[in-house]
């Protein structure tokens, strides 16, 4: 089963897509297999991260801002604005695709794991994901 998902972000940060993916897996009726998610962008990414509290997400965002600052004078790619190149670099450091096992018609995530789109641009936009669930 192949489908798409559009996520509308409104600022930098993490957007939980776990429940949507769980619904797709349940609807697929695939007992055991693989769910692959691919984000079709170079300034946003996908991560598996703790979903039981906002503090881990807050810390991740602030860590990324320290690790890859905006407006670094060494950047030559500035056509997309002051957050463009830092968003590209943050995407490279994370993932543009994830593969999650499906077991007993469920995503095989741990108790506190969730799947997130990580928006790296200051102003949000529409993000497109391709999702493939197969035995």
Q: Where are the domains of the chain?
A: 8-129
CATH 2.60.120.460 given to domain 8-129: yes
Segment 42-100, tens digit of pLDDT? 999 999 999 988 899 999 999 999 999 999 999 999 999 999 999 999 999 999 999 99
Distance CA 71, CA 87 (A): 11
C-alpha distance from residue 18 to each of 8, 86, 92, 118 (Å): 15, 26, 22, 13
Give tens-digit pLDDT for 104-115: 999 999 999 999
Q: How far apart are the first and last CA of the chain?
A: 9
In this prediction the pTM is: 0.94
- DSSP three-state, residue 90: helix
């Amino acid at each position: 089963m192949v489908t798409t998902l559009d996520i509308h972000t409104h600022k930098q940060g993490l957007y939980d897509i776990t429940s949507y993916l769980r619904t797709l897996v349940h609807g697929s009726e695939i007992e055991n297999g693989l769910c692959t998610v691919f984000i079709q962008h170079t300034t946003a990414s996908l991560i598996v991260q703790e979903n039981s509290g906002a503090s881990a997400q807050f810390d991740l965002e602030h860590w990324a801002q320290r690790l890859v600052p905006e407006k670094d004078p060494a950047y030559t790619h500035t056509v997309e604005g002051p957050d463009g190149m830092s968003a590209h670099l943050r995407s490279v450091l994370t993932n543009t695709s994830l593969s999650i096992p499906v077991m007993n018609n469920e995503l095989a995530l741990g108790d506190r794991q969730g799947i997130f789109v990580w928006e790296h641009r200051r102003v949000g936009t529409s993000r497109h994901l391709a999702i493939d669930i197969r035995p």
